[in-house]
Amino acid sequence: MSSVPLLHLENLKKYFRVKESWGRTRYIHAVESAPLDIEGGETLGLVGESGCGKTTLGRTILRLYEPTAGRIFFKGEDITKVDMLPYRRKMQIIFQDPSSSLNPRMTVGEIVGEPLDIHRLAASRSERKERINALLERVGLNSEHANRYPHEFSGGQQQRIGIARALAVEPKFIVCDEPVSALDVSIQSQIVNMLEDMQAELGLTYLFIAHDISVVRHISRRIGVMYLGFLVELAESYELYKNPLHPYTKSLLQAVPIPDPDLTRSRKRTILEGEIPSPMESPPGCRFNTLCPMARKECTEAVPELREVSPGHWAACHLFG
């Protein structure tokens, strides 16, 4: 691998301003600390419960949301405050809900062809048509679908259209924002396999955001775990499942269903008790200390740093300080 990662985040933060009815202004700390390096050609999975900041982080990386603080480096270049149009060709996104991310007034051909028009990637109308047809065929559709509208397709087909649109500009990095969570299980495997095939063929790099930790395990080389804006653990996929360190990661893995009633009854589970803090009123210290069964005094006083506990395995927990 190159010594310079494809993507590097430095102290990246994203806060959303909330103005309350009586005039007071408060901030939602959606992303507080997510130090990530993503190497070219790899898939980094990102998991965590709803509201933990996964989607916000992905969109902030692409500057669909402007970062509150910190810097974003792509191939060693600081892109935090530059004009993003040239980088839109290199960095794309696949959205969670395909039906809401496709313009219902545009045909499939117009949707897939729009990036080609914006970046002037087709020299003629005939070349544009050829490229659109080739993109549709790559994602399992055909040229006849180009003249139809999004509502005429199933959810899985709509997501294929969204993937074709993302591929139109030949990007190197794609944020996959829960691309299979809105689809049937049988369709999920098709989409995931297609993403893996395209990665091998085109040399793509993915940030794969998902709720389903089993899907992330299948597609990712490394996995990061987020909790209320903080990256609390990062490790190789196999290592994270074999030896989870952070108490929150352990609780996530224990919640994954096992298709064996005997194993389900026999395995030990940690029941989390307490209140989930608000991202507007975070507790001092570690944000997980209100639920953590192993919390101690230090956990309520200082925010733990993400440290390398063993080679390639990082955790933000005072238990491993």
Domain hosting residue 183, numbered range: 7-90+171-320
Q: Has residue 153 been placed in a domain? A: no
The answer to whether the CB of 155 falls within 8 A of the CB of 180 is no
Would you say 240 and 223 are in contact if contact means Cβ atoms under 8 Å apart?
Answer: yes
Q: How many domains does the chain have?
A: 1
| Terminal Cα distance for the chain, rounded | 30
**Residue 144 belongs to some domain of the structure:** no
Q: Is residue 175 part of a domain?
A: yes
| Interatomic CA distance for residues 287 and 64, integer angstroms | 26
Query: What CATH number is given to the structural domain containing 286?
Result: 3.40.50.300
Q: Do residues 39 and 235 lie in contact, with contact meaning Cβ atoms separated by under 8 Å?
A: no
Check residue 1 and give its pLDDT: 46
Q: How far is Cα 137 from Cα 95, in angstroms, rounded to an integer?
A: 20
- CA 297 to centroid of chain Cα atoms: 33
Strand partners, 37: 8
- Is 154 a domain residue? no
The pLDDT of residue 321 is 65
Q: Is there a domain that residue 314 lies in?
A: yes
Q: What is the pLDDT of residue 181?
A: 87
What is the full per-residue pLDDT of the chain (321 aa) written as tens digits? 457 899 999 999 999 998 877 778 889 999 998 999 999 999 999 999 888 999 999 999 999 999 999 999 999 999 999 999 999 999 999 999 888 999 999 999 999 999 999 999 999 999 999 999 999 999 999 999 999 999 999 999 999 999 999 999 999 999 999 998 888 888 899 999 999 999 999 999 999 999 888 889 889 999 999 999 999 999 999 999 999 999 999 988 887 777 767 666 666 777 777 778 888 888 889 999 999 888 889 999 999 999 999 999 999 999 886
DSSP string, 122-184: -SSHHHHHHHHHHHHHHTT--GGGGGS-GGGS-HHHHHHHHHHHHHTT--SEEEEESTTTTS-
Q: Among 115, 120, 122, 121, which Cα is nearest to 88's?
A: 115
In-domain check, residue 121: no
Residue 107 covered by a domain: no
245 lies in some domain: yes
What lies within 8 Å, CB to CB, of 102 at 6+ separation is 111, 150, 158, 161, 162
pTM recorded for the entire structure: 0.92
